[in-house]
Structure 1
Amino acid sequence: MAASKGSKRVYLTWTDEMDAALLVVLVEHHNNGDHAQNGWKPHVYNPAIRNVHEKCGVEITKDNIASRCKTFDKYYEIISKILSQSGFGWDWENDKLLIDSDDVWNRYANKAADCYKTKVVKNWEAISTIYSKDHANGEGARTGTECAQVAAEEVEEASLDIPQKRQRTGEAILFILRDMEPHSMML
């Protein structure tokens, strides 16, 4: 059995077969528009639970599905970022990253992605089908940090085009003094 009891929780170890049974249902419902921005619509969970039980003989819960979906989302986020770099591809036969050379990997050098260098991720096609719409990846797609950096650069470029404001403090004082009555300056 894939579950083992802890002191208060039941931990579930997902198998490739369980993932496949879950993802078949999730892809179908994703294609039907049942994958909202904040998660799956409630009616998706029962068919997913039923399909995993029928195909694998394992009882799962909505929480198990939500937790596994977070894992799939993490896989997608990291792997798709790697695949967007030059020198990387996907090995469909072995279900893992295809890297042109160690030099390519060393240039990428991302500690969060180290384990993905040799990690086997089954069902990549289903995972990318489901999660590609949740992540901006087209032309102009940026993270919040990238947007802030671009905005700062645009402000800096714009400020170079605008003539600098002249300091007029001295002129202002002279005008004030000139407007004062002559007898008040003699005091």
Structure 2
Amino acid sequence: MDTALLAVLVEHHNNGDRAQNGWKPHVYNACIKHVKDTCDVDITKENITGRIKTFDKQYEIITKMLAQSGFGWGWVKNMANKEARAYRNKVVHNWESINIIYSKDHATGAGARTGAKCVQEPQDTPVVEEAPEVPQKRQRTGDSILCMMGKMKMSFDDALKTTEPLPMRKVTPPTEILAALKKVPDLEDSDMLRAYGKLIVNERLFEALMALPEELRKPWLLTFD
């Protein structure tokens, strides 16, 4: 079904049938009819927009992987992005057709608008289920080559590799925290246990405790709920 759907989208993309806020209404009608004629499957505009979102996501992830510019590594969590791992050693069918549709207008940056976002905006003209007949076109040799290329297996092992070691987060041993609490004069056992439970899970709190003068440590610890 994706092959039939993308064939129509590529044709109308080449014809310039994309408005500022997404595909023109008659493109959806053409997709509905062509998929029915080719695959004997009834689809709706909602089905089409759902698949377009998937194509959009595939294009964004794969093109960044192929660029190998650090994509696939999340610097905030210091781990490979979940989206990138999902495409490791995965066959992406119809990649050439997806690339044709998105390569020229898939922007990047804060103000970028993806195809998935475009299809969520309302169209000025409603889509009707019955559309004028679209003449069947004989599959060209170039289209056959694109279908074959779409089934090629792409490996992204190199894109997920990193040569830099991950920095280890500082963690104070519980024994050191307990020893520091025992040095606080006149601290009741119940108060010590309550403070201990807070400090072992929050490194920042322990650093704050050690930064206080000794005479202020007990009053500060007693503020813990």
TM-score by length of 1: 0.51
Q: How many residues align?
A: 105
Q: Which runs of 5 or more residues in structure 2 are unaligned?
A: 71-78, 112-225
Tell me the distance in 1 between the aligned counterparts of 2:20 and 2:65.
23
* 1:15-68 alpha-carbon deviations (Å, 9 max, x no partner): xxx000000000000011112342110010111111101111100001100110
> 2:109 corresponds to which letter in structure 1?
T
Within the candidate set 24, 27, 49, 1:44 is matched to: 27
- State the 1:135 CA deviation: 1.5
Is it true that 1:114 corresponds to 2:80 in the alignment?
no
Tell me the distance in 2 between the aligned counterparts of 1:81 and 1:35.
24
Residue pairs, 1:9-88, within 5 angstroms:
18-85=1-68
Within the candidate set 96, 100, 106, 1:135 is matched to: 106
Tell me the distance in 1 between the aligned counterparts of 2:66 and 2:86.
15
Does the aligned pair in 2 maintain the 1:29–1:44 contact within 8 Å? Answer: yes
| Secondary structure, counterpart of 2:87 in structure 1 | helix
| Secondary structure, counterpart of 1:28 in structure 2 | helix
Cross-structure match for 2:174: none
- State the 1:86 CA deviation: 6.4
Tell me the distance in 2 between the aligned counterparts of 1:51 and 1:28.
12
Q: Per residue, is there more helix in 1 or in 2?
A: 1
Q: Which runs of 5 or more residues in structure 1 are unaligned?
A: 1-17, 88-107, 137-141, 146-187
> 1:82 corresponds to which letter in structure 2?
M
Shift of the 37–121 alpha-carbon distance from structure 1 to 2, 3 Å rule, reads farther
Tell me the distance in 2 between the aligned counterparts of 1:53 and 1:110.
37
Does the aligned pair in 2 maintain the 1:34–1:40 contact within 8 Å? Answer: yes
* 1:76-109 alpha-carbon deviations (Å, 9 max, x no partner): 011111011169xxxxxxxxxxxxxxxxxxxx93
Tell me the distance in 1 between the aligned counterparts of 2:110 and 2:52.
23
Percent identity of the aligned residues?
Answer: 67
> 2:84 corresponds to which letter in structure 1?
A
Tell me the distance in 1 between the aligned counterparts of 2:51 and 2:43.
11
Tell me the distance in 1 between the aligned counterparts of 2:66 and 2:13.
23
Tell me the distance in 1 between the aligned counterparts of 2:3 and 2:83.
26
> 2:110 corresponds to which letter in structure 1?
G
Tell me the distance in 2 between the aligned counterparts of 1:37 and 1:133.
14
